Amino acid sequence: MSKLTIADVSKIFSTTVAVDTFSLDVADGELVCLLGPSGSGKSTLLRMIGGFETPSSGSIRIDDEEVIHLPPEKRPTGMVFQSHALWTHMNVFQNLAFGLKLRRRPKAEIKERVEAVLDLVGLKGYGSRMTTQLSGGQQQRVALARSLVLEPKILLLDEPFASLDQHLRERLREEVRDIQQRLKITTLFVTHGQDEALALADRIVVMRDGRVEQVARPDMVYREPATPFVAGFIGTMNLIDGTVANGTFSRASFSVPLPVADGPATLAIRPEALSLTAGGQGIIHRVTDYGTHGLVDIDLPDGTRIKSMISDAKAFAAGQSVDLKPTAISAYRDNAVIYRTR
């Protein structure tokens, strides 16, 4: 049973605010992804939990025990670094045994635990290899094993797969998820890749400029983004700024009924929620055929470009004029949702 409680944590680097009064509860066995662009403060937050940065204010508790005053070596956290940070002067076994030796475990136990964890990450029999002889994926597995072997209460992963290629990333992502589920270990995973977050997380925390934009289940982050930023950051989204008057949103010649009070608004429409019919104000700039579907770029008369996903790419061609029919929309004003279809 290990839960993590972060309350009102801020980190100020001389003049810039890296993390701004951040609060989050992570339940036992939960995998939470911190998602955001670079500079959003997600890595800083993770490093504060690991003990590598000291918060300017706030509290971090693990199982209701304050850890903020503890140095990294005294915290029950295990961190996997982006650049794997394996100790190149030791072999795989020595890398994994280092922490256990510090804890003065008996030799036999060390051997047993290291072998068990190597088996867990699929590197059975690699103990005597030097870390530099391993491939990138294997190195990252060793780094993961090095954290797991100490049985931390909280596992912290700082963009662990960022330096690997797409294919390997996807495989390791699944492995991490499997291992996490099997060990039921409370995990915080930092990434800037939305695919990774959507595939892995029980919950996603979308961060921007050191603040939380939204905390929600992956499907909710995708379907019901809380702010225009989240809407734009996760998946492809048409974000159209315009004005609402008499229950109608309009931008140039494009208008949609929107039952909200008059004023400015930002409309968010997924490409797959925008159907096209021949004849209208939009001019097709390009049609890209992806085989399974087509993606159409449409230019409105004022130059706004809008994307629509269609099932048959052959149905439309560049230059054709089309009418846009949204099937599901969200609308935002002052960074908050004011309307959502359904």
Binding residue for other proteins, selected from 2, 43, 44, 77, defined by CB under 8 A: 77
CA 168-48-163 angle, 5° bins: 20
Closest to other proteins by CB, 18 or 230: 18
Closest to other proteins by CB, 59 or 275: 59
Is 257 one of the binding residues for other proteins (CB under 8 A)? no
Is 210 one of the binding residues for other proteins (CB under 8 A)? no
Q: How many CB atoms lie within 10 A of CB 64?
A: 7
Is 85 one of the binding residues for other proteins (CB under 8 A)? yes
Residues counted in the chain: 342
Closest to other proteins by CB, 95 or 227: 95
In the complex, the smallest distance separating the C-beta of residue 179 from other proteins, rounded to whole angstroms, is 18
Is 64 one of the binding residues for other proteins (CB under 8 A)? no
Show the beta-strand stretches assigned E in 117-210.
154-158, 186-191, 203-208
In the complex, the smallest distance separating the C-beta of residue 87 from other proteins, rounded to whole angstroms, is 6
CA proximity to 263, closest of 246, 280, 239 = 246
In the complex, the smallest distance separating the C-beta of residue 166 from other proteins, rounded to whole angstroms, is 23
Is 98 one of the binding residues for other proteins (CB under 8 A)? yes
Map residues 7-46 to x or -, x wherever contact with other proteins holds by CB under 8 A. Answer: ----------------------------------------
Show the beta-strand stretches assigned E in the chain.
4-13, 16-26, 31-35, 57-62, 65-66, 77-80, 154-158, 186-191, 203-208, 211-216, 238-245, 248-251, 254-257, 263-269, 274-289, 294-299, 305-310, 321-326, 330-333, 336-340
The Cα 113–Cα 90 span in angstroms is 18
Closest to other proteins by CB, 143 or 324: 143
Is 104 one of the binding residues for other proteins (CB under 8 A)? no
The Cα 188–Cα 201 span in angstroms is 9
Q: How many CB atoms lie within 10 A of CB 230?
A: 23
CA proximity to 242, closest of 326, 174, 315 = 326
Is 208 one of the binding residues for other proteins (CB under 8 A)? no
* Contact range with other proteins by CB under 8 A, out of 26-34, 51-59, 120-128, 260-268: 51-59
Is 162 one of the binding residues for other proteins (CB under 8 A)? no
Is 127 one of the binding residues for other proteins (CB under 8 A)? no
The Cα 60–Cα 24 span in angstroms is 10
Binding residue for other proteins, selected from 58, 136, 235, 280, defined by CB under 8 A: 58
Binding residue for other proteins, selected from 1, 14, 38, 69, defined by CB under 8 A: 69
The Cα 242–Cα 177 span in angstroms is 42
The Cα 8–Cα 2 span in angstroms is 20
Closest to other proteins by CB, 68 or 220: 68
Is 65 one of the binding residues for other proteins (CB under 8 A)? no
Number of H helices and E strands in the chain, helices first, is: 8, 20
Closest to other proteins by CB, 65 or 241: 65
Binding residues (CB under 8 A) for other proteins: these are 50-52, 54, 56-59, 66, 68-69, 71-73, 77-79, 81-83, 85-89, 98-99, 102-103, 143, 146-147, 150
